Structure 1
Amino acid sequence: MYIVAKRFIANDAEAEDVVQEAFIKAFSKLEQYQAEVTFGAWLKRIVINTSIDTLKANKKRLIELDEAHLKIVDNEYDDKWLVDDTVTINDIKQTIDNLPEKYKYVVMLYLLEGYDHQEISNILNISEVASRTQLYRGKKIVQEQLTKKQHGTRY
């Protein structure tokens, strides 16, 4: 759970506080656990929500896209995005970490945590359309940055 918190919170001590707070929340709301998902998945969601709440409290607000300017992205054609064999998982994580916040959290929740768009929309309080659009745009930026790095134009 600490690793999950660290994906959102850069400061080690603050990430530890988030995990501790999440465990306290989980313990105090244990009667609400319905076993619809595994206990680990339930706890992980609490850790993610607590991490996001902490970021919001630190004035690191999530930036929502204006719904009027969104377009629906067809993910059928977007699912094929490959990176060169020389790109490491650390390169990908670092690139995701450098994304603007409005893309970063959606990309992390989708690619690293495995949440679907409905779950992401509930966690971040955005529409599913916004989730899809932010994922599409975030993945596009990640691809561009990794391509630049591969061709030596970055760093």
Structure 2
Amino acid sequence: MTYDPDVPIIDRIIAGEQSVYAVLVNRYKSYAYTIAYKIVQNRVEAEEVAQDAFIKAYHNLKSFQRESKFSTWLYRIVFNTAISHRRKSRPDFQSIETTRLVQNHEGEDRVERSDKRRFLEAAMNRLNQADRTALTMFYLEEFSLEEIAEVTGMQANTVKVRIHRARQRLADELKTILKSEALSL
């Protein structure tokens, strides 16, 4: 088992120092939000999901088995909370009258980076939820295959195959998007 720097903090929380939980929240809030956002696809709901997950983790801290790192255990809670939230919620439609258009007058480098990000996000949004989550956790959050397997409940080999196939699907989606973009110029 790998040393987990969170264990002494967890011991203090369980011993009654409840305010120390803020250390764990601050340490993992951006990762929790990112996982939640990739699943629910809404900033406000992702914040809500992350907050709910931290509350669940706090209430179940005594049941943390310490067989894995706290971060992995927490991300599993975030993942499950986000999946449950997504199942409960309906699609939200935005009115065309209330949609704001944002104009960007920045340099070509920024525009190019923005375009790349936009195309990548569009391609990611075309992937299924499991593929998006796996790619995000592996490439953006830099989780190991074992950590992703633990969070998602899949086998490590299955995660490896999913990431490989998801990358291929992402490349195909990017080709489709860029081809249609080139045709519209």
Q: TM bucket by the smaller chain?
A: 0.5 to 0.7
**Which TM-score applies when normalising by structure 2?**
0.53
How many residues are treated as equivalent by the alignment? Answer: 128
Shift in CA distance, 93/111, structure 1 to aligned 2, threshold 3 Å: farther
Bigger Rg, which one:
2
Among candidates 44, 58, 69, match of residue 88 of structure 2: 58
List runs of 5+ in structure 1 lacking aligned partners: 60-84
Residue 138 of structure 1: how far off its partner (Å): 0.9
Shift in CA distance, 101/48, structure 1 to aligned 2, threshold 3 Å: closer
The yes-or-no answer on 1:136 pairing with 2:167 is no
Superposed counterparts of 1:6-155, under 5 Å: 6-31=37-62, 32=64, 43-44=74-75, 46-55=77-86, 57-58=87-88, 88-151=116-179, 152=181
Higher-helix-fraction structure:
2
Q: Is the 8 A contact 2:125 2:132 kept in 1?
A: yes
% identical equivalent positions: 24
Deviation digits for residues 19-51 of structure 1 (CA, Å, limit 9, x no counterpart): 2211212322345496x85x7776555433422
RMSD value, Cα: 3.3
Cα distance in 2 for partners of 1:28, 1:100 equals 31
Q: Is the 8 A contact 1:120 1:131 kept in 2?
A: yes
Shift in CA distance, 154/100, structure 1 to aligned 2, threshold 3 Å: farther
Deviation digits for residues 88-136 of structure 1 (CA, Å, limit 9, x no counterpart): 2332233112202342222222122221221222222222222112111
**Which TM-score applies when normalising by structure 1?**
0.61
Q: Secondary structure at the match of 1:88?
A: helix
Q: Is the 8 A contact 1:96 1:108 kept in 2?
A: no
Q: Is the 8 A contact 1:148 1:154 kept in 2?
A: no
List runs of 5+ in structure 2 lacking aligned partners: 1-28, 90-111
Cα distance in 2 for partners of 1:154, 1:139 equals 24
Residue 12 of structure 1: how far off its partner (Å): 4.1
